[in-house]
């Protein structure tokens, strides 16, 4: 005799159901062979139920001839599985008896009734499943993510929102990975700094890997990611269901970096352009290689297929102008462009104020629990310290946000301040020395991180004479996003072809300004220098449109004023194209000496 799966149903506990089946067996004079239980496993299929499979094995061995169950849907809810089961029952002279459904497969009518009940049961499962999926999809799209909140997020009611106390840590981890650091290296750094985890355990490489692969950080939720692979299901991605912590561009860059990290590279030394050099012949990523004698060891980048070697010190030489420009940009961003590039969402303190208020409530609750003796001193100290650290972090962020709100700026003022500072350094002949010093003072690790911050990859070729040439460079999309944002504010400079004296040259030119913006820029400059603006004389311009390549410019004019910058002055609507009558190229000139206040 066999009793199949026992489960609590209709108010009867597991023990009560088992007792009822034993009474039924006693009444029918069945000898109980064994009780089979698949506790907590659904009856929707037979394949993943160990006790059920053992029951079938015993039946086929002739050990049982009756299966007694509480209800038919406790046996199976699959029509396909039921047909297999009935076939097996008939083949091995075994019968199914269900107490609550009055089922007995020993007759033709009983087998027909069993099939009908199973069809209805499967229909119910599919309807419930469809309703559940529909409801879950709607909930996910509303930000009600079913899983545990990952680092950087927390619950507010049913919704998943950004946790301001851990958001910056998530950004830092992604940035460290973009710099070329491995999962384990990042984990080691966080452990050395004693950065707490969500589980109070130490940081592991697997923890970092899960974060790097989690689409939630760019606002998307991926369902069936792990289970789908096991059960052959395709993952379902819900886009933009939560507020992102990192941009899609950064996430894509991280995935590209991950593919590079999975390849084999020589890492016994630090290579400045690691994973950045593209072979000019085949387009593959060049590997790192060390070589040389005892006196001097060179660092190389090697393409195995093309037998090409490039020396790191010579690569550094040929890219030095590019590196200097990036260092200048980096310094400018930190000193001047922060108000422009700062996340506008962080300028509102309401969210931070709410976070601080909640943490203060938690702090008071734990303090009260300690006073009343509800928690021990060790637990109190540990939890109190965590809350204090989060409070300090949020309050510091709030101060920074308030300071940012107090800043009143315009793009023209920022550009003028930047240009004045650069002019001072140029006049003292310290500008390029300062940029070079910034680079030379960096360690090799810092140089590698700096290159990785801006550059996706670079292609350098070596000609027959052994001279290196910069062929192509691809910047990181996150860097390009910054540039585009600065361009939107009209704060970007470019070089303009011209002739100074008899020499062909390029001069710095601002992006387009209207008259009001030019006036504001000039007023700011006039705080430091005696400045003048002149419409550029164009004696070489033909009558029907301007077609020639160069403007003729004097380094110093009749008034002893030196060229400071060219400006493209346009109509107030900043319309395009630029080669029409709505724009004028003008020049800003300064006296050699600074303005005496």
Cα 501 from Cα 555, distance rounded (Å): 7
Q: What is the pLDDT of residue 375?
A: 67
Helix, coil or strand: residue 78? coil
Q: Average pLDDT across each block of 10 residues of the chain; the chain has 597 residues. List them in order.
A: 39 71 84 84 74 90 88 73 79 83 71 69 61 57 71 83 88 85 88 84 88 87 62 69 84 77 55 88 85 61 90 92 88 72 59 80 76 70 76 73 62 82 75 83 85 89 89 86 77 68 67 81 86 68 45 74 80 48 74 59
**Residue ranges in 214-276 assigned as alpha helix (H):** 227-231, 248-261
What's the confidence (pLDDT) of residue 460?
Answer: 93
- Do the beta carbons of residue 21 and residue 68 sit within 8 Å? yes
Task: Please give the pLDDT value at position 555.
Answer: 75
pLDDT in tens, 140-187: 666 667 677 889 888 887 788 888 888 889 998 998 888 778 888 899
Beta bridge partners of 527: none
| Residue 410: other Cβ atoms inside 10 A | 14
Burial (CB < 10 A; 0-12, 13-18, 19+), residue 326, is buried
Length of the chain, in residues: 597
| Residue 8: predicted pLDDT | 40
Q: How many CB atoms lie within 10 A of CB 48?
A: 11
DSSP H helices, 429-555, are: 431-440, 444-454, 477-488, 515-525
Nearest-angstrom CA–CA distance, 125 and 72: 14
Domains of the chain: 2-131 (3.40.50.1390), 153-261 (3.90.1750.20), 277-323 (2.20.25)
- Whole-number Å distance between alpha carbons of 186 and 179: 11
């Amino acid at each position: 005799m066999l009793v199949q799966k026992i489960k609590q149903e209709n108010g009867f506990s597991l023990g009560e159901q088992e007792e009822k089946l034993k009474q039924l067996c006693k009444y029918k004079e069945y000898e109980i062979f064994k009780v089979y239980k698949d506790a907590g496993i659904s009856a929707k299929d037979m394949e993943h139920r160990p006790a059920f499979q053992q029951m079938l094995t015993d039946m086929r061995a002739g050990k049982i001839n009756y299966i007694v169950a509480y209800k038919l849907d406790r046996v199976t809810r699959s029509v396909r599985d039921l047909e297999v089961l009935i076939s097996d029952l008939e083949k091995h002279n075994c019968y199914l008896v269900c107490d609550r459904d009055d089922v007995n497969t020993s007759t033709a009518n009983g087998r027909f009734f069993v099939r009908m009940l199973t069809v209805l049961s499967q229909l119910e499962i599919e309807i419930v499943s469809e309703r559940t999926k529909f409801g879950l999809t709607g909930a996910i799209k509303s930000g009600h993510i079913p899983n545990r909140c990952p680092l950087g997020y927390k619950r507010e009611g049913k919704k998943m929102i950004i946790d301001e106390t851990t958001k910056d840590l998530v950004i830092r981890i992604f940035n460290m990975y973009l710099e070329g650091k491995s999962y384990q290296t990042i984990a080691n750094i966080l452990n050395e700094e004693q950065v707490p985890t969500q589980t109070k355990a130490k940081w592991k490489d697997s923890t970092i890997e899960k974060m790097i692969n989690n689409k939630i950080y760019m606002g998307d939720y991926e369902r069936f990611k792990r289970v789908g692979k096991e059960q052959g299901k395709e993952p379902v991605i819900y886009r933009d269901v939560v507020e992102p912590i990192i941009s899609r561009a950064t996430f894509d860059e991280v995935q590209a970096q991950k593919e590079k990290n999975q390849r084999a590279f020589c890492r016994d030394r630090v290579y400045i352009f690691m994973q950045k050099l593209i072979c000019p012949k085949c387009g593959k990523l060049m590997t790192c290689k060390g070589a040389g004698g005892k006196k001097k060891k060179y660092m190389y980048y090697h393409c195995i297929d093309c037998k090409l070697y490039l020396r790191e010190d010579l690569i550094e030489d040929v890219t030095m102008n590019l590196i200097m420009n990036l260092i200048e940009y980096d310094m400018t961003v930190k000193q001047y462009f922060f108000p422009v590039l700062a996340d506008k969402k962080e300028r509102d303190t309401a969210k931070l104020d709410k976070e601080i208020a909640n943490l203060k409530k938690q702090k008071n609750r734990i303090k009260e629990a300690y006073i009343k003796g509800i928690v021990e001193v060790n637990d109190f100290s540990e939890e109190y310290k965590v809350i204090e650290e989060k409070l300090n972090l949020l309050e510091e962020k709030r101060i920074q946000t308030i300071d940012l709100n107090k800043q009143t700026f315009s793009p023209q003022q920022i550009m003028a301040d930047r240009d004045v500072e650069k002019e001072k350094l140029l006049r003292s002949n310290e500008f390029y020395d300062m940029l070079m010093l910034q680079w030379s003072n960096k360690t090799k690790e810092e140089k590698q991180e700096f290159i990785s911050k801006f550059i996706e990859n670079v292609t350098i070729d070596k000609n027959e004479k052994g001279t290196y040439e910069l062929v192509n460079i691809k910047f990181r999309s996150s860097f390009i996003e910054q540039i585009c944002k600065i361009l939107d504010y009209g704060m970007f400079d470019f070089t303009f072809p011209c002739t100074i004296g008899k020499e062909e040259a390029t001069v710095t030119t601002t992006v387009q300004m209207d008259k009001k913006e030019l006036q504001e820029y000039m007023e700011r400059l006039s705080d430091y220098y005696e400045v003048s603006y002149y419409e550029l004389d164009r004696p070489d311009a033909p009558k029907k449109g301007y077609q020639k390549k160069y403007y003729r410019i004097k380094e110093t004019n009749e008034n002893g004023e030196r060229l400071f910058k060219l400006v493209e002055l346009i109509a107030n609507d900043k319309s395009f194209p630029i080669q029409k009558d709505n724009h004028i190229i003008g020049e800003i000139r300064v006296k050699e000496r600074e303005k005496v206040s």
